[in-house]
Structure 1
Amino acid sequence: MSHMMPDDTQKPIAIGAIGGSGSRVLAKIIQASGVSIGSNLNPSSDNLEFTARFKTLDVLDLPDNQFFSRLGDFEAISRADMVQAGNKRWGWKEPNTHVVIERILEAYPSMRYVHLLRNGFDMAFSGNQNQPRLWGPAYLNRPISDPPTPPESLAYFCEVHRRISKLARQPHNQSRILFVEYEALCYDPKSEITRLLDFLDFKPEVSLKELCNAVQQPASIGRSLAFGLKPFDQEDLNYIRKNLPKMLPAS
């Protein structure tokens, strides 16, 4: 059931991730494919209209009428930006999208959500710990250090993956949620971008080669290897071993 009577001829596209995952490259790709991602963006291409409405702790307990009112305001701004840009599709990139994606998917039966997944061990040693700092206490149901420690960051990573995976397995979401692994995108951009475009049902306005050129492999891939696995909690290591074994360092 939709709370907002969305226009089903439009399929909003949302990109989320844990902050620092490199989701800017996905924003570039969908923008180059003719999607309006908004006009009020920061240097990382985060949609600041979304940030202002949904990167706040109160959204976790916001009554439906207030939540969908905020979403309706955001949609109106996004559609206006789409018209101004001369596009026919609208969407946004904002890492914190995953925090509220359940209710957004409910509002838009035709939308697509792309979740960028970067190696959780590398993320644990990232300088960007804004999400674990903000959402970690609610997600993990315990106090979090400031700044969050690598084990706390990995615990947050696992909990986010657990939530989004469970959501993606629901029958009505199986064609609406796509995980894109950042490392796979860097190592084989052609295959991953093709998979993304197929999921979004896109015919890009620029060549596949041009889209691939937007992907640059950063030196930070593998930054966790110097630290090993000793700092981390066994429960989180077991989760990754079972669900994301490719993230473990080669023995």
Structure 2
Amino acid sequence: MSKAYAKNWGSENRAGAVAPARLRPVGAGGGTIDRLRRRFADLPPPVVIYNKSHSGSRLLAQMLADQGVFIGGKLNESNDAMAILPLIERLVEDYYPNYQTLWDQEWPTDLEALFVTALMEHLTGYDGRSPWGWKLCETTYIIPIIAAVFPQARFIHLLRDGQDVAFSDHVPPQARFWRKVYFNNGDIQGWRGLSLTNRAYVRRPHIYNALHWMNAVEVGRSYGAMLHGRCLEVRYEDLCQDFIPVSRRILGFLSLAPVEAALTARSATVRRGAIGKHHQRRRQRREVLRLIEPTLLSLGYLEAPSRPSPLWQVRERWYSILRQAGKMWGRMRRP
């Protein structure tokens, strides 16, 4: 990181990394969001990738890194921005889905400090000039805050067929954070007779994964629509099958000129074998469809609604006859 940049944001250590700066008063008025916006105003606007976990965002992050986008100084093997995670956990656990108390007023001091610390740790090794951003699935749930602090930020919402995602295991909704991620409510104790424990998840992971996918996609699309031209929706399937053209479209959205050699090299590593893997799980796939079919239809992942089976039609007809008979019997017994 440049010395001029470090002077504004923190102090350089011997390795050249930047330590988080202490919070300094920036002037009265505007609340914490306005203060954070001014604090980070010298940075280029970030690129933020969000999605449901196991939607293929590692490939997207790798492509952007190949193109010179700094995606973080503290990453895990999936290129997730781990420095940002504590901030997301705090905002989701304490505020999501209602951020009203954070608008135009002061935040708790430790929350403001956490925001700055998370960003500064993420920016370790950054030169202060290059395009930058991050990839972390659960950023989905704090987009209103990120969009307010970085009003010129660009967002990429990566979608993947929920039928495939249902068979990619992740995390059960046992902790409060994950219950909010699944159901937008941290106090929920069960859902349609399902326990929210790890043991229950292990028995029927595809059901929980499908619920997780549905909420993440619907929340992500709702927030993305509010961003208007600042958000680009990309399908994982398109990225895999037409990697170079789709990557060029993404880079154009970010106003970045593609480095063609890097795109060609990365294209050779793309794997397409996981697309459509749900076809191998016919029975569980039917259970998944009962939960998420409307969302799949709205995204175009299904060409037409499923048709009820003959047995289901007979059963519904029989129930209808019984209901009508019950109503007639009730009328006959009235004085």
> Do both proteins adopt the same fold according to a TM-score greater than 0.5, normalized to the shorter chain?
yes
Partner Cα separation in structure 2 for residue 17 and residue 93 of structure 1: 9
**How far 1:70 moved relative to its partner?**
2.2
CA change 1:113–1:95 in 2 (3 A) is same
> 2:270 is paired with a residue of what secondary structure?
coil
> 2:80 is paired with a residue of what secondary structure?
coil
Partner Cα separation in structure 2 for residue 49 and residue 31 of structure 1: 17
By relative contact order (CA 8 Å, sep 6+), the higher-ranking structure is: 1
CA change 1:8–1:192 in 2 (3 A) is farther
**How far 1:49 moved relative to its partner?**
0.9
Summarize the alignment of residues 75-224 of structure 1 with structure 2, pairs less than 5 Å apart.
75-83=119-127, 88-127=130-169, 129-130=170-171, 135-138=177-180, 139-140=182-183, 141=185, 142=188, 143=190, 144-146=196-198, 147=201, 149-170=205-226, 173-205=227-259, 207=261, 209-210=263-264, 212-213=266-267, 216-224=270-278
Q: In structure 2, which of residues 92, 100, 103 is the aligned counterpart of residue 59 of structure 1? A: 92
The one-letter code matched in structure 2 to 1:158 is M
**How far 1:210 moved relative to its partner?**
2.7
Contact 1:11/1:110 (8 A) holds in 2: yes
Show the counterpart of 1:238.
Answer: 294
Partner Cα separation in structure 2 for residue 177 and residue 8 of structure 1: 22
TM-score, reference length from structure 1: 0.83
Amino-acid identity (%): 24
The one-letter code matched in structure 1 to 2:270 is Q
Summarize the alignment of residues 9-88 of structure 1 with structure 2, pairs less than 5 Å apart.
10-54=44-88, 56=89, 59-62=92-95, 64=102, 65-66=107-108, 67-83=111-127, 88=130
Report the more deviating stretch, 88-97 or 181-190: 88-97
Gap runs ≥5 in structure 2: 1-32, 96-100, 191-195, 307-335
Contact 1:33/1:206 (8 A) holds in 2: no
The one-letter code matched in structure 2 to 1:75 is L
The one-letter code matched in structure 1 to 2:72 is G
CA change 1:2–1:57 in 2 (3 A) is closer
How many equivalent residue pairs?
244
Partner Cα separation in structure 2 for residue 226 and residue 133 of structure 1: 28
Contact 2:63/2:263 (8 A) holds in 1: no
Partner Cα separation in structure 2 for residue 116 and residue 226 of structure 1: 24
TM-score, reference length from structure 2: 0.64
Structure whose alpha-carbon radius of gyration is higher: 2
Contact 1:40/1:48 (8 A) holds in 2: yes
CA change 1:51–1:206 in 2 (3 A) is farther
Runs of 4+ in 1 over 4 A off after TM superposition: 131-136, 247-251
The one-letter code matched in structure 2 to 1:114 is I
Contact 2:70/2:126 (8 A) holds in 1: yes
CA change 1:133–1:115 in 2 (3 A) is farther
> 1:246 is paired with a residue of what secondary structure?
coil
Report the more deviating stretch, 213-222 or 129-138: 129-138
Contact 2:51/2:216 (8 A) holds in 1: no
CA change 1:225–1:177 in 2 (3 A) is same
CA change 1:176–1:122 in 2 (3 A) is same
Report the more deviating stretch, 91-100 or 201-210: 201-210
Gap runs ≥5 in structure 1: none
